[in-house]
Every structure is written in structure tokens, then in C-alpha cells.
Chain A
Amino acid sequence: MLLLALPLVALGAAPSFYGAAFIGSGGAATLYSVSSTGTATAIGPIGFRQVGAMDVSSGGTLYGIGLNGSGTSVLITINTTTGAGTLVAPVTGGGWGTGSPAQDISFRPSDGKLFAYQQGTIYTINTTTGAATPVGADGVGFPNGNGIAFSGSTLYYAGSNTLYTINQSTGAATSVAALTFPPAFGTLGPRSPAMKFDPATNTLWAIVFSGFGSPQTSLGTVNTTTGAVTFVGGTQVGIDGLSLAVAPPPTTSGVPTMSWPVLAGLALLLAGLGSLLAKQAQAL
């Protein structure tokens, strides 16, 4: 079985993604680079199992939730060059299923808080301690699919064949539209285990599975008004609840107060003005 979790890594007209894939429940996960057409290229082993939920923080760090060697749910950071994962902390508390990974995670853009979906409940996760705090049950149970993604201040959730919004105070899900999948995705219960929103193109991207055991796996985009899912291309085959993490683009610019030549110029100006005024002051 193969699990896939994708985070967008660059913004622009043609975004690219990272994907975490594993074969079999509890299988070792591998980080992939995934193009906007769905083509996946292996980067390297993550070193953790069943990493099915990933997202990038506003600071550009790729986070994931998976299982360690003893089957405990853990929060990790992932090196996007080598694929290697580094343990942050076990995810515990608030009724979190410590032997299960998250189905998907997403950072809230406004304050960088990490939200997670696990088996019908929405949590927030402390990215330093791994502490899980329950927001609340979504009220739709634990269907197939279960991708979540922030689009601006709205948290979307894809349950089997319905797109919902999630109340970030209570966890309650509100239906937005039925998800409609064209036949290109496959006809065996298509659903989205991973979603992420690209603000640069204003597009909600989704991984779509069809079938079980060795499901057909595709990349698509979701119309958040009508629920229509558009086929983009095939990608890594996967199974089980997966996640697709959205990308950080980070364009970060330093803003020096002033360049050294200007600073030197200001020093000369102050020296000139100061000496002139000092002379006048003494002459008074």
C-alpha cells in the first residue's frame, strides 16, 4: 500500500509539491517531489512510518505526522533535500489516538496554528511539544477521504464525497457541496485523502484515490463553490487515509535600515551639522 502526502513547495503559475508515500499500513514512508501535473520523483526515505499528513509552516519548515518504530504517533520535521525526518515530539493528549497517524494537517495562515484531523475529530497540535488539543468532533463520523486544507481563513474538509467547512472553534462540519469526480479519477469510490490550497493561483489541490488495496491515485483541483473536482494527472499509487500538504512559497526579504554608504553619509552629515551647531552654540 502506498501513502501519499503532498505539500506545495513553490508558488507561482505551476506549483510543485512534496509527497510522502508509503506502502502498506505502517509502511516506511518516502518523500517525493511532485509536479503540478502529478509526476512524482523520489527524494529519499523519511525514516518514519505511515507519514500521511504534511504541511509547511509559515517559516518554511515541512512538518509531518506519522508513526515511529514502536507505532507511536509522532510529529516530525522533514528535510526537503534528503527526505530525512527528525522527531519533534510524540503527539499526545486530548484523546488523540497515540497509535494512529493523522489523516491530514494544515497550518492556519493567520497565526500559524497547526490543525489536524484524526478519526472524526479536529485537533490543534503544539509544534514544539506535540501536545494535541481537541477542537471538537466534526459530526460526520470517520468516512473515507479526510483531507483538510486552509484556504485563507476557511478550513475545508473532504469527507468521502462531500466538501465541508470546519468551524475552527467547535470542529463542527458544515456541508458546502457534493464532490463530483469525473471518470478519469476512477469509479471505485473516489475520495480525497489530502488537500492543500495554493494562494498564488487561488487553487485547492487534492490527491484523489479510487479503489482500495492498490487504489488509482491522481492529482486534481477542487472547485470550492460547486465541489467539482478536475482531473490533472496520475501520480503515486496509494492507499488508506492520506494527506496533501500545502506549500510555503516563502519569499523572504531582509529590510536593512540603510546601506553602509548611506549610513556613512548620514554620519558625515551629522558630524557636519553637529560641529556647525556646536560652534554656533559656543559663540552664543
Chain B
Amino acid sequence: MKIPISYSFRNLWTRRLTTIFTTSGMALVVFVFASILMLSAGLKKTLVETGSYDNVVVIRKAAGTEVQSGVDRLPASIIETQPEIATGPNGRKLVVKELVVLINLQKRGSNKPGQVVIRGITENSLTLRPQVKLVKGRLPRPGSSELMAGLSIAKRFQGAGFGETLHFSMRDWNIVGVFDAGNTGFNSEIWGDVDQLMQSFRRPVYSSVLFKLRDSSDFGKVKARIENDPRLTLEAKRETTYYADQSEMMAKFLRILGMSLTVIFSFGAVIGAMITMYASVSNRTAEIGTLRALGFMRRNILYTFIIEAMLLGLVGGCIGLFFASFLQLFTISTLNFQTFSELAFSFTLTFEIAYKALLFSLIMGLVGGALPAFRAARMNIVEALRAG
């Protein structure tokens, strides 16, 4: 680069106000772009981490989610007899039959309603879900009206905190424990004894069966056997796949909305950059003429203006990314369109998102600066000098 980059920097600095406006526009576009990617990544992470690759979820065929599914006692017992199920440290098979329903709870502070998953569990449920760790209190005793709440629910909903009481189905339920399930969807659930819950909700059927494979590669075999058994109208999925599928609708929605916003706004940012760069070229016509007279080539002029525009983009991109990174402090709590249940997830910034965002900002700068740079390069020396 014959013309030093400091030349471009200083020119941006000289016309500070315009530079600030233009980079702010770029920063905002990059912010929106990055935040959408971060939201999708956060959503994916939450739902995908919610689940182990070696676990298999069995629900009624075509039900889609545990909430809509019903597995009778007999089919459930048949699943329990599958030979591929792993054995736990206590000598028992690692298989559980669970009930999953939604209940209405009121949010703290706003009294607005939310639909929360209540899961009826048994002893091995925790073993099958190593991501779940008890952080306060204890596990609910089998046969009791006790519950434990996921961290997100304990925090956000009235009556769901440690030591508090929920009332439904004409019974009082005490929250005796709080568990932390990291980034997974389990943090948005309340767990209790499956038999007690089935009784009080008067649901004689389970919602799902979950088991761990002794050998992960056995999945295909077990799946085929379960789905082809005429006695059962069930389907089997790896737990990770099951949860990933549940986010598809949300992810798609976020993607469409987010990308359209980004596209529209990026047009605006590029135009802002174009206007700024055209003005820049226009103000420095005599300079351009001088540089050409001194012996600099058309392409030197072209590059220097393109670099200036890309710097605008890059600065905007860094600022946007910087602010976007703070989003990681926030958690979004919303209704999952597919499961109709409360879901809390946060923004996740990955290296890939960061470099994509910066690349995007560079491209915006490039597109915005290209035409003005060409105009600068195509100038006639004598006319340019005269304009000064």
C-alpha cells in the first residue's frame, strides 16, 4: 500500500461528526446481526444441550412433544424390557417413565401468566440427566407432595422459590429443593414424584419413557424394533434430536425476522456509508488531483478510499460487537411456540459469530465505499486540481 493507512484513519478522524454518525449506523446493524445469531446460538445451545446423545426418548407416534403425548402402562412396560438399556450403578436399569404436563403460574412482579412444565420423575431420572445438579435443599421424597424447581422457574415465578408453596389440583405442594441445569431447558421445569402427580392430575398414562443406551450404536436397532411393533404406537428419538426439533419453529421465526431486519437495516447503513464517502471524495478532490500529479496511480487512489470505507465498517463492526457482547448478561424468557411451555435461554457469543459480524461490517464498508472510490479513481487530474 503506497498510501499509508494512517492517511485513511486521519481523514475519518478529521470529519468526526460524520464518521460517528456513519459508524453508529454500521454498529447498529452489526449489533442486530450479531444479536440474532447469538440468540439462535443460545436457543440451539439450550435445547441441544438439553439431552444426552446416548439417551432415547419414546413418545406416542406423531405427538411431537411430551406434553401432547400419552404412553399407556402396558406399552411403557414393554419399553422397559428392551435389552439395549444400560444398567445403572444401583444395579437397576436406566429407564424412567415420566409424566409431563403444563401448569399456569404467575410471574413475579408482573402477575403475568406463564405455562410451566411439571415433570413427574422417578429415582433414576436424575441419573439419566447428569446436567442437573441440586443446588439448594433436597430432592422431593417419593410419595409426598413435594417438588423441586429449576433455577429459572424458582427465580421468575410466584410460589416456585425454595421454601414456597404452589397450589394446584386441590393440593398444596412444597418446594423443597432448587436445581441448576446449566443452559438446558430443564431449568424451566418443576419436578416431582410421578405417581403423586399422576394421581393428582388424574392422568393414568405416562407422557414419555426415557432410557440410556448401553451402546450408543444400538440406537437404530432399538428404534426400528419399537416403531415396527404393532402393539405399540410409539416413536423413538435420541434425546438430543428430540430437543433440537422442538426449537425448529422458534429458530425459524427468529431467523426470518432477524434476517429481514438485518437486510433492510444494512441497506440503510450502506447508503449512509456511500453518502459519507461521496462527500469525503468530493471534499478532497484537490487532494486526489495532487496525489495523482505527484505520481500515485488510479489504483492507489481506489484502494485508499476503499480502505477508508472498510475502516468505517470495521470500527462500526467492533462497536456493534462490543455492545452485543453485553447481551450475554440477559436471559430471554418466552413461550416456545412449539411446546407452548416456558423457555428461558440466553445470548451466546461464539468466535464464529464474532468473525461473521466483523466480516459483515467489512463487506458493508466495501459495498458502500466502492462506487465513491471508483469515482475518485476516475477523476481527471487537471479538473480535480482546478476544483480545489
Q: Do A and B bind each other?
A: no
Residues on B facing A (Cβ under 8 Å): none
Residues on A facing B (Cβ under 8 Å): none
